[in-house]
Amino acid sequence: MIFLDPDKRVDLATAASHIGDGALLALGGGLSSRLPMALVRELVRQGRTGLHVVGSAHSMDVDLLVAAGALSICEESYVGFEQDLGLAPAYRRAAESGTITLRESCCVTILTQLRAAEMGLPFLPVRGIKGTDMRRLHPEYAETTCPFTGEVLVAVPPLIPDAALIHAPLGDLHGNLYLDKPYVLDERFAGASRAVIATVDRIVSTDELVEYGITIPAHYVQAVAEVPFGAHPASSYPNYAYDRDHMGVYVKAASKPESAAQYIEEWVMLPDGEDGYRAKLGEESLQRLTTWSESTETWKGLFA
């Protein structure tokens, strides 16, 4: 959809209030980069339930939603913490005990479904899938025969998220967003979704934003909230690197239901929300993540 209000600035609570229980959400960024963590934490604070998430390879955003009991259906292509921190603890536990519905998908399939939505088409063919077991997870897929070659391909329906949650390093009051590559699926999410709900580390003037370059234009964006370190502990380059230590703290806590609940109590359910979160992390620890550009040694040192 298209949003024409000249000023889209709202606070985080208002931004998150656009998301209802059971919403189909596209999660921006991926792995350790530009995860919409502030929005995820706010949705947990507001007690959202029954969420259905779609996207490519994600980590703590999905796992935290699972740990908080906010998520019902997971349609990401991967959820985990790579080789470094391993499997996603809460996600794994919920999947193995059947408390969430698994609709694991594949990058090209998701991309194709988003393209169908973006192109206004009721289906698109996709190459691959045949020969794998992915259709066991997706009984909704169908088949289509190429009218030119006779080849039978898998057909997929459009995927129209209710909202795309996107964190950007910079934005303006109209909702224009600058992203640093990789954009992952965020541009496609913007075109396919009913709305983009954005957080940005910093709101700047449109002139300054144009200097950086606009990746996602304002007309896709329903609301933009300025939340410094809004992707933490994921990265938001060029502003800050990811906080490997804090990711480790989370993964350790999430390994058991009790300590996961304690993490959420301690780091998410703070009465003063994101201000409290940043205060608890401490100025020094956050500033350290911004020093990546000083030298290779400094950058490397963040991950040692």
Partner 1 sequence: MTYTFDEWFVVTLARTISDREVVFHGFGSPCAQVAMHVAKRTHAPDMLLIEGAMYAVNPNPPFIPPTGNDSSLKQGAAYSMKFEEFFDAAIRGDVDRMFLSGGQIDAYGNTNVTAVGPLEKPKVKLGGGGGGCNISATIGQLTLWTTRHRSGRTLVDKCDFITDIGHVTPAGNRAELGYTGGGPQWMVTELGVFDYDSEGRARLIEVFSDVDVDTVREATGFEFTTAADVKTVASPTCAELAIVRGIDPLGVRKSEFDPAELTRTYDHVHDPGCNC
Near partner 1 in 54-113, by CB under 8 A: 56-57, 76-80, 82-84, 87-88, 91-92, 95-98, 102, 104, 106-109, 111
Half-sphere exposure in the Cβ direction for 303 (13 Å, CA): 13
157 vs 248 by CB, closer to its own copies? 157
**Residue 128's closest CA among 191, 77, 189, 53?**
77
Binding partner of 73, given its own copies, partner 1, none, CB within 5-8 angstroms per partner class: none
- Going across the sheet that includes 142-145, the strands are 124-126, 152-156, 142-145
Residues in the chain: 304
Residue of 17, 101, 144, 291 that binds its own copies (CB under 8 A):
144
In this structure, are strands 124-126 and 101-102 parallel, antiparallel, or unpaired? Answer: unpaired
211 lies in the binding site for its own copies (CB under 8 A): no
Residue 155's DSSP bridge partners are 125, 142
How many chain residues bind its own copies (CB under 8 A)? 21
Query: Following DSSP, what letter does each residue of 6-59 receive, concatenated?
Result: S--B--HHHHHHTPPTT-EEEEPSBTTBS--HHHHHHHHHTT--SEEEEEEEE-
6 vs 122 by CB, closer to its own copies? 122
Residue of 5, 14, 132, 142 that binds its own copies (CB under 8 A):
142
Residue of 41, 167, 244, 278 that binds partner 1 (CB under 8 A):
244
117 lies in the binding site for its own copies (CB under 8 A): no
139 lies in the binding site for its own copies (CB under 8 A): no
| Binding mask of the shown chain, residues 123 to 142, with x at each position contacting partner 1 by CB under 8 A | ---xxxxxxxxx-xx-----
1 burial (CB, 10 Å; 0-12 / 13-18 / 19+) is exposed
98 vs 120 by CB, closer to its own copies? 120
Residue 168's DSSP bridge partners are 200
Interface residues with its own copies (CB under 8 A) are 112, 119-125, 127, 142-144, 146-149, 151, 153, 155, 157, 213
